[in-house]
Amino acid sequence: MDPIRIAIVGMGKIARDQHLPAIAGNRAFGLAATVSPHDPGVEGVPHFAGLDDLLASGPAVDAVALCTPPQVRHDLASSALARGIHVFLEKPPGATLGEVAALQAQADKVGASLFAAWHSRFAAGVAPARAWLAERTIERVTITWREDVRVWHPGQAWIWEPGGLGVFDPGINALSIVTHILPRPIFLRGAKLEIPANRVAPIAADMTFSDTGGAALHMDLDWRQTGPQSWDIVVETDAGTLKLSQGGAVLTLPTGTDHAEDHEYPALYARFATLIRTGRSDVDVAPLRLVADAFLRGTRVTTNPFVD
């Protein structure tokens, strides 16, 4: 079977650190081109300043992986889908719920695969956590996602703009895990969003949720963390406490701790290949919907200006 010819659109850190190695390690794919107005691309691979240039005069591609900021992703995805090209959407899948719904409808109409790629769901501890929780009664969930924005997002102005999500850019990873592992749906009860005086997106958020069985969830997001970083989910159940730490890589159950190697992006591309080969899409917007609800219902509090 011929490899799926894929182009990467947006050659930032995530593309170079994760997408390129994952594609290189998966024989189902062949890197056909890269697209970026700023990055020179990969030696020996055709490179284009824009997706329109690639589609107009470049090599044929079967799929694109969109690693751009979410604010510009809809138009790029729509252009690809209009040509029957399969689309991999980095997280979050879009800047709004409406545009993701439009892309899903377009993909269904043309018969192309659309993949909203929540990479944290493929962390090593997530699948066994989901299986363990399936037969448990959830009593309480605590999410602590604290990191230093200057370390993880230096100089990325887009992340502070409308649609860039601010602290929800990492926080949505936690929500992608929680919505996947808990046996019942969750919904927002309330939120406080701390927004720097010189920005429009939050630098911190404190949120409360409930699942449909009445279990309480609390989420603490903060981009001002220095020293040790925290990416932890603790689930208290009738059978003891489950903890996912290091973003889902480490799973601790009452019986012990398991720490497996990172395989998020290789697993994402394996999933994308399966979707393409079977003619299906995978577009779960539950994490993005919860973030949208936080902006809809949350109380906004102005905090100190942020200077990168």
Q: What is the CATH number of the domain that holds 124?
A: 3.30.360.10
Query: Does the pLDDT of residue 71 top 90, yes or no?
Result: yes
pLDDT digits (tens, 9 = 90+) for 50-67: 999 999 998 999 999 999
Quick check: is 87 in a domain? Answer: yes
Domain match, 227 and 162 both = yes
CA dist., res. 260 & res. 263, Å (int): 9
Domain match, 92 and 196 both = no
Interval 33-46 mean pLDDT: 94
Domain match, 98 and 11 both = yes
- The DSSP bridge partners found for residue 8 are 34, 65
Domain match, 89 and 147 both = no
91, 109, 192, 243: the catalytic one is 91
Quick check: is 308 in a domain? Answer: no
Domain match, 77 and 149 both = no
Residue 158 near residue 71, CB atoms below 8 Å: yes
91 a catalytic residue: yes
Domain match, 85 and 201 both = no
Domain match, 227 and 98 both = no
Domain match, 150 and 296 both = yes
Q: Residue 100 in 3-state DSSP?
A: helix
Query: Does the pLDDT of residue 260 top 90, yes or no?
Result: no
pLDDT at site 31: 98
If pLDDT is split at 50, 70 and 90, which confidence band does 1 have?
A: confident
Distances in Å between the Cα of 81 and the Cα atoms of 86, 115, 126, 229, 268 are: 7, 12, 31, 39, 20
What is the domain extent for residue 189? 120-262+292-303
Query: Beta strands of the chain (E only): which ranges?
Result: 4-9, 29-35, 47-48, 63-66, 86-89, 114-116, 138-146, 186-196, 204-211, 216-222, 230-237, 240-245, 250-253, 256-259, 299-303
Domain match, 256 and 133 both = yes
Q: What is the pTM of this model?
A: 0.95
Domain match, 132 and 210 both = yes
Burial level of 89, CB count in 10 A (0-12/13-18/19+)? buried
How many domains are there within the chain? 2
Q: How many contiguous H segments (helices) and E segments (strands) does the chain have?
A: 10, 15
Query: Does the pLDDT of residue 259 top 80, yes or no?
Result: no
Domain match, 80 and 211 both = no
Domain match, 297 and 157 both = yes
